[in-house]
Amino acid sequence: MRSALGTLGAILCLALPSPSCHYNIGLTAPEGYSEVAVEIFANDTREPDLERALQSSLTREVRDRVPLHLVAPEQSELVIEGRLVDFNRVRGIRNPKNQILESGVQVTAEAWVVRRSSGERISTPITAQATVGYAIGDSRGERAARERALRQLAEILIVDLFTQDWTN
């Protein structure tokens, strides 16, 4: 019985994908590039430090999804640039007494990819928006909703940028 379980365990281990396999989710990069960088976006909103929080989310998305090595902007010819366009607090659900029960945040950003040496945009600019709600009274409410909205925004921007046709 013990050897049968050992054999079954060995078969299962061999059948599982190796962690060294390169999983590709369909994102592509322009031909001839092996590295990419993410600039800190301009912040055209009135919300302070939003660009730094977005930078963190964008960096994570690039590292996890893009088939290029992530490096510092001054070390890469391929750079993701953009700007935060808008940040709003939105009001949501109200009870019969017209008291607000839910609120939310909405963030809009634009992004594009440039060739650093020439400053030429080599991608179509992408505009994305994320809206995340939270229950009034939640101690982490707006802060957590803001973090989730920035993660969603980063995912949308990176997927849309790197599913473009780079042959144009």
* pLDDT tens profile 90-143: 887 777 777 777 888 999 999 999 999 999 999 999 999 999 988 887 768 889
Cβ distance 37 to 75 under 8 Å? yes
pTM for the model stands at 0.79
Region of residue 32 (phi > 0: left; psi between -120 and 50: alpha; otherwise: beta): left
- For 27-161, give the CATH class: alpha beta
Q: Break the chain into its structural domains and give their ranges.
A: 27-161
**Beta strands, E only, 97-137:** 102-115, 120-121, 126-135
